[in-house]
Structure 1
Amino acid sequence: MADETDKKAPRRKSRSRSLSDEERKLWRAVVKDAKPLARKRSIHAAEAALPAEMLSSAATPPAPQPKRMPASVVPPPSPAPRRAPEPPPLTGLERRTSQRLARGQMEVEATLDLHGHSQAEAHGALLGFLSRVRARGLRCVLVITGKGASPYARHTLHGAEFYEVPERQGVLRSAVPRWLNEADFRAHVSGFQPAHPKHGGGGAFYIWLRKKR
């Protein structure tokens, strides 16, 4: 049999013990002159342990992101300007009114004499005259143009084709009927016809105005 003394003795578990008073005094004497590490040194030491990539990204602040501009708002297309309605065509005069004018039985409420005017002057003067008298509520006006050199001018009183005779006519006598058919004049005029001899005959026109609005 093996000697029992050859058997290994079981290990004793180490037990923690508290320091004695003398040991505590000794420890305080050792650490009395010790100083804590500065915060800056600890920060540098921590940075030294970081990889170079992390250090470079930490040292360089991130570039500011560009602000996103709002999408441009395209204004809606402006509406097309409204065109003034086209004045109605000349309607002519009522039969009774035309007959009374032909007989010289109607009173002329205003008169415009275009003698001595150029065509440009006469055009503007006639349009302004008709606009003013219509604003006053007048209906029947007389416009004197002159008879010109045609032998028919002294005798032609009525008829839609009186100004189409082949002989030479007065310039304004030919121009006024054309002007009265223009849109600017039709806004004021409803019809016209040659005047009675007592008002100038073939050298003048009765002009019938539209009612004031």
Structure 2
Amino acid sequence: MSRRGRRTLRPEEEELWRRVAESVDRLKPRRSTRRGRAAKNAASQDATSGDAGDASGGSPARAPVPGPAAPPAPVPPRISAAPPGKPAAKSPAPNHPPLAPLERRTVQRLVRGTHAIDDRLDLHGLTQEAAKRRLMDFLHRAQADGLKTVLVITGKGALGTDRFEAGDFTAERGVLRRVVPEWLRMPGARGLVVGFSEAHAAHGGSGALYVRIRRPKTGR
């Protein structure tokens, strides 16, 4: 029974169509068609999973967005191990010979007056600071003037009447008598003094000193 509007093939027509179909080879499907179908299938699967996520109330998973890169750690500056600086060399102190006391013959000449005392310095009544300053000035001036022997009077340590009346009872007796020889041995005086000795009684005895002045160095 045939459908309305569609003609059925006659037996000879069906036999002819069958022969034609058997003589034609079936074409292989193209690779692009296969790849297109695979892509369509993957897209349909993604759409299906997305629809399932929407239907369940959840949002589709998203790839994490990378945050800003952390700044590189600062590199500490390299400190070169430089050798420590050498301290400045100090100029060597002048090497003076040891102090020598006056010879006995020289002292006898001083007492007899055959060897003159070129100048005198009296330190009576001065404080230690003032006496030291006065002594050093006196020695420098004596060397500059070319003097040979001077007399430094220190006193034997008795307090003067003026200091006693002024109420200075704490002053130590004989302090200049002890410290003046120490000042003459100091490096600052070694370039000015050759030696010293206690004076004869005629010139003050233990309260005075004979001092020999060193000759100044002259440049060539």
Using CA pairs under 8 Å that are at least 6 residues apart, name the structure with larger relative contact order, 1 or 2: 1
Q: TM-score, normalised by structure 1?
A: 0.50
Larger radius of gyration: 2
Q: TM-score, normalised by structure 2?
A: 0.48
